[in-house]
Structure 1
Amino acid sequence: MNTCGGSTKPDRKTIERNRRIHMKRLCFKLDALIPKHQNVYRSCICHHPLWRSSSMKDATNQRDRLDRAASYIMQLRERIEELKERRQLVMCIKGINRNMRDSMKIDDVGLPVLELRDSGPNLEVVLISGLNKSFTFYEIICVLEEEGAEVVNASFACVGDRIFHTIHAQVKCSRVGIETSTVSERLKEVVHSMNPTSFASGSRMGGESGDIQDDQPIRIN
């Protein structure tokens, strides 16, 4: 220690010792921030017989802490980059889905759409409606049954803002057949009764009843 004018100035050894103590404290704080699974290497060395040597401690203790911290920081950086890429991918998928929904939206004026396809003994009814339409599958099936058709299967699927209803039916008696124009008119009435604002007063079915041909769709729009 050098004394000058009543003040004490620490010598170089004291400054260096204080610096080392401060660095050790910082290293301990840094080491405390690292998760436990990153400290496996340290615990393994501590149980090694050579660890009892003070020279071994001095040579590896601080270096190991810094190495573990640097390794952990690199892992965090890689994890952050990975999460950023995943976030961008999710946002991209959301944007695609939003664009698909927007592109598939149809004005209520254009819905519902009813198609009846007659192919001999088989009938196929396709009904396209919006999500806010309240169609009763049961009523449509009843119309087909009452007109002499037997429903084989019925299903529906949601695509965007549309609901696609599909019904496959067969003529019960091939000799009697089925009057397609009558079925079409009744189905039109059922759909119109449930959604009176969806059809214009002059709406037309895909041709007059005398123009209906086999295997041709009859469209109500």
Structure 2
Amino acid sequence: MENNPGLSKTDRKTIERNRRNQMKALFAELNSLVPHETPMEAASLPDKLDEAANYIKRLQTNLEKLKERKDSLMGIEKRPSNSTGSSSGKTTMEGFRSPQIEIREIASALEVVLITGLDFHFMFNETIRLLHEEGAEIVTASFSVVHDTVFHTIHLEVGDSDQVGNGAARISQRLKKFVHDSGAF
């Protein structure tokens, strides 16, 4: 401003006053968004700005924790990529295993073996729901975990002996489609 010969002293004062008023309005807006633990009337401007910066950092940390918790609840386990790989900071899937299903027909019964990674918690419940929709009677259901692989074994009765072949084929087809569609995200 000092170097601009076209501005008078009053113009420079007006410009500076407007700049200060704008800064004051912006600070007031920032101050209104930050919850205060202590009375802010006594705090200096730098202290208020430090408190706002700390509050934003806490929000960022909380957001990251919530994202990790959401991923955990959805069955997605993530870890940072190793130092020999890309340094972009992206995450990679850990324990990701596409689901597989094996179905064996034994007389009027079916044995269903669902193999998933730890990241597919929902699949067992959805498989049971699907079997109930088809009218199958579940005799036993169990699971075992080996490292990051879950083996679900379900034994079920298909229904009338007249319709066992059709029922077993329909159930097998629906289960295979469900597992294929669930693994294709």
Please say whether Structure 1 and Structure 2 have the same fold, judged by a TM-score greater than 0.5: no
Q: Which has the higher contact order (CA 8 A, sep 6+)?
A: 1
- The alignment's TM-score, normalised by the length of structure 2, stands at 0.43
Mark the structure with the bigger radius of gyration: 1
Bigger helix share: 1
